Each structure stands twice: as C-alpha cells, then as structure tokens.
C-alpha cells in the first residue's frame, strides 16, 4: 500500500506552494485575456468577444494549472510518521 501511495504522491500531488502558484497563473490568464476582451466587446456592442475570450482563457488556464507540472512540486510535503508507529516506538523503548 505504501508503494501505491508513494507513486500517487509523485505523479499527481502538488505541494501547497505549488497550489498557490497554479491558482495565481489561472487568475492571471483570466485577467489578461478577459479584461481586454470585455472592453473590446463593450466597444463593439457584441457579447460574443468576451464569451470567446472566456472560453479560451478557461482552456489555457486548465492547461497551465491542471497538470502536475514540475514547477508546482518544488517544495515537497514532509509527512509526519504514523501515530501508531510513534506509540509503539515509545512503548518499545520504555521496556
């Protein structure tokens, strides 16, 4: 079971700082793409420009933030040892 958990954490888990970075990149994609499109759509009096821009920003943000890129795993999570292991270690040392 430990081997499966280790493989999963290496393949699909993003550390906490990586989650923040992915969220910032996604927000940046929406801000940079949708704000000018909204202004252009307002100027042209056509709502389709912001709608297409939003769809494009959604696809781009998904490609940037969703996969487990290496830049999101620079600060690996250090898991604490199991509480049962700690108790058994303490009991073993006291005897």
Q: What is the pLDDT of residues 39-50, one digit of tens each?
A: 999 999 999 999
The answer to whether residues 75 and 16 touch, using CB atoms and an 8 Å cutoff, is yes
**Helix, strand, coil % (nearest 5) of the chain?**
75, 0, 25
Q: What is the pLDDT of residues 56-92, one digit of tens each?
A: 999 999 999 988 888 888 887 777 777 777 667 667 6
Residue for token digits 């996969």?
67
Task: Give the predicted TM-score (pTM) of the model.
Answer: 0.68
Domains of the chain, residue spans: 14-73
């Amino acid at each position: 079971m430990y081997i499966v958990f280790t493989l999963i954490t290496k393949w699909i888990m993003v550390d906490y700082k990586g989650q923040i970075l992915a969220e910032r990149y996604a927000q940046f994609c929406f801000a940079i793409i949708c704000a000018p499109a909204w202004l252009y759509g307002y100027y042209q009096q056509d709502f389709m420009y912001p709608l297409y821009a939003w769809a494009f920003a959604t696809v781009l943000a998904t490609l940037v933030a969703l996969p487990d890129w290496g830049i999101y795993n620079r600060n690996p999570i250090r898991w604490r040892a199991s509480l049962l292991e700690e108790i058994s270690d303490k009991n073993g040392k006291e005897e």
